[in-house]
Amino acid sequence: MERVALQDDVIPLKFPVRSADGQMINSIHVKAGQIIDIVVAAADRLKCVWGPDADLWRPERWLEASSLPDPNAMNHGWARLLAFSQGVHACIGVRMGETNH
């Protein structure tokens, strides 16, 4: 998913990351016009959120409330995933993805 910053801004990170030189990064500074790539496949498989089996397809996660991560750690999109994006940029096909045919 790609977005373009409309103005200079600072994007806070929910989970700090360690840079190549060992510093902890808590936010990212962006300039107007800068392209921001959001790697949805990586965001929806964060082991710090989903646990050591984050890469496994386990639909039963959503059937057992006790197996879901803390809601504050998860994304706010459909089914707590970014697969369809969210907000005004949400995929227009999300409803088709939710239905059984």
| pLDDT value of residue 5 | 94
Please state, in angstroms and as integers, the Cα–Cα distance from residue 74 to each residue in 13, 23, 31, following that order.
13, 25, 27
Residue 78's pLDDT is what?
Answer: 57
Q: Residue ranges of the domains in the chain? A: 1-37, 39-101
pLDDT of residue 77: 61
Q: Please give the C-alpha separations between residue 51 and each of 8, 32, 57, 93, 101, in angstroms, as whole numbers.
A: 34, 36, 13, 29, 31
Q: Which residues of the chain have pLDDT under 70?
A: 74-83, 94-101
Q: What is the reported pLDDT for 48?
A: 82
pLDDT given for residue 32 in this prediction = 97
Taking alpha carbons only, the member of 32, 30, 35 closest to residue 12 is 30
Q: Give residue 45's pLDDT.
A: 83
